[in-house]
Amino acid sequence: METLLMRTPFLATLLAATLLAPAQAGTLTIESWRVDDKALWESTLIPAFQRKHPGVEVKFAPTAPTEYDSSLSARLTGGTAGDLIACRPFDVSLALYKKGHLEKLDGRPGMEHFPASAKVAWQTDDGKDSYCMPMASVIHGFFYNKAIFRKLALQPPKTEAELFALLEAVKKAGGIAPLALGTADQWEANQIVFTNLGPNYWQGEAGRKALIAGQAKFTDPAFEGVFELMSRLGAYLPKGASAQTYGDSQNLFALGRAAVYPAGSWDIAYFNQQGVEFGAFPPPVRKAGDKCFISDHTDIGMGINRKSKNKEDAQKFITWLGSQEFADLYTNKVTGFFSLSNHLIAVRDPVAKQMMDWRTQCGSTIRLNSQVLNRGTPPMENELWNVGAQVLNGKLAPKDAATRIQTGLAKWHKPAQ
């Protein structure tokens, strides 16, 4: 009895101290499809965050890109998803927000560092709700093999006429493919050809928004003309292009067996690893003096799981994603992915810097069909893959390609009817 009485004050003091002690920081888990970035997050990005917020444990738990959307949706529905959700642009993440899986982020610390154009990919159609913080974009253009250009006395083209003169010169020289491009996987026909070259035709955002509003059609010259351009490019594809995969195209360019590679900036890191001496040029304009446009596509954002048990630390992390420090680290460590923030960034990789500088020289837009236009069945994305590949292969006339896409759009999109 005496022992219990003696211990009671001590226990009471211990209990009070426990109740008054600050809550210990929890663990955050990041969901992502960027499997290739795991080492970077663990060795560089997470430690940088933890230096500002010691005690917060962060785990990067990626899922294979092809499985990410379905498995993430299942985990969110089942209540087992991570605290932080890497967001794909537009409809996929919008669907998650509408189902109540993502927090609304308007007015949250860090969001003020992003221009309105960067937020569009992760907002409701009316622009009233933002549900993911913008992280990075990818830029489209063309890579060229510097050794081949020196050997053949070629210069990066500025106009379409110069581009075709260059491709013809390579073709006549023999032994080297003018373009490292195949159509077996199909997606390249849209994402790194059609929406790469097209903005110079449809004038970037003006044409993209006109399609959504029903003020323009794919059968207009500004859109059909891009298919005509692709048809001409088909003559400069490697032999057997219809069976050539994306990986095959990478290898062809990496081995110095092709002069020009239609590219997304994400390819920079791969070619750096292969030791390729290469440069980049933006999509050539139709004629000298024309304003240039580039596809600067919003690619990845980050949201907070509405059912997270550690929202306080999740918000700290989101705020850090909007910082100058993160913008610098991500842009320079994930080469070819460019911060969407308005922070000034010194880009160290020479090819990445070339591409980022195009933002100040050309008008920027996003992939043509990424907002609203993919909501039909089948999605326009899939249709553009298919018709684009057929046009490049010489199996579908440009006019028929444009008509097919416009007809499909008009079946469900009222403004296009």
Same domain as 322, residue 201: no
Residue 1 resides in a domain: no
* Rounded-to-integer distance, Cα 133 and Cα 159, Å: 37
> At 114, which amino acid appears?
F
Reported as a single tens digit per residue, the pLDDT across 236-247 is: 999 999 999 999
What integer is the mean pLDDT of 178-197?
98
Q: What is the mean pLDDT of the chain?
A: 94
C-alpha dihedral sign at 49, 54, 56, 59:
positive
**Would you place residue 257 in the very low, low, confident or very high pLDDT band (cuts 50, 70, 90)?**
very high
C-alpha 308: how far from its chain's center?
Answer: 26
- Of 124, 118, 130, the C-alpha closest to 297 is 118
Q: Is residue 157 domain-shared with residue 123, that is, in the same domain? A: no
pLDDT of residue 26: 81
- pLDDT value at 108 more than 70: yes
SS3 19: helix
Residue at token pair 């998803």: 81
Q: State the pLDDT at residue 13.
A: 37
Domain for residue 11, yes or no? no
Whole-prediction pTM value?
Answer: 0.89
Specify if 92 maps to a domain: yes
Annotate 133-166 with DSSP letters as a single string: EEEEEEEEEEEEEHHHHHHTT----SBHHHHHHH
| Residue 48 included in any domain | yes
377 and 247, same structural domain? yes
Residue 190 belongs to some domain of the structure:
yes
User: Do β-strands 27-32 and 293-304 pair in parallel, antiparallel, or remain unpaired?
Assistant: unpaired
Domain that holds residue 213: 139-296+366-416
Query: What percentage of the chain has pLDDT greater than the value 70?
Result: 94
Tens digits of residue pLDDT in 278-288: 999 999 999 99
Does some domain include residue 5? Answer: no
- 8 Å CB contact between 391 and 242: no
282 and 373: one domain? yes
Residues 283 and 403 in one domain: yes
Whether residue 226 contacts residue 201, with contact meaning beta carbons closer than 8 Å, is answered with yes
102: domain CATH number?
A: 3.40.190.10
Residue 191 sits in the same domain as residue 103: no
Tell me the pLDDT band of 1, cut-offs 50, 70 and 90.
Answer: very low
- The verdict on 185 and 272 lying in the same domain is yes
Host H or E run for residue 410: helix 398-410
pLDDT at residue 103 is higher than 80: yes
As separate numbers, helices (DSSP H) first and strands (DSSP E) second, the chain gives 20, 10
Same domain, 237 and 131: no
Does the residue 390 lie in any domain? yes
What are 147-174's pLDDT values in tens digits?
999 999 999 999 999 999 999 999 999 9
Looking at the structure, do residues 306 and 286 belong to the same domain, yes or no? no
pLDDT digits (tens, 9 = 90+) for 65-77: 999 999 999 999 9
120 and 259 share a domain?
Answer: no
> Does the pLDDT at position 2 exceed 50?
no
30, with CB counted inside 10 A (0-12, 13-18, 19+), is: buried
Residues 261 and 315 in one domain: no
Q: What is the pLDDT of residue 140?
A: 98
Distance CA 126, CA 90 (A): 13
Calpha distance 51→374 (Å, rounded): 42
Determine the pLDDT at residue 10: 36
DSSP readout, 299-321?
EEEEEEBTT-S-HHHHHHHHHHH
- Distance, CA of 16 to CA of 178 (rounded, Å): 76
What's the confidence (pLDDT) of residue 16? Answer: 37
* 402 in Cβ contact with 218 (< 8 Å): yes
Domain assignment present for residue 350? The answer is yes
Same domain as 278, residue 188: yes
Q: Which two tokens stand for residue 349?
A: 């990789």
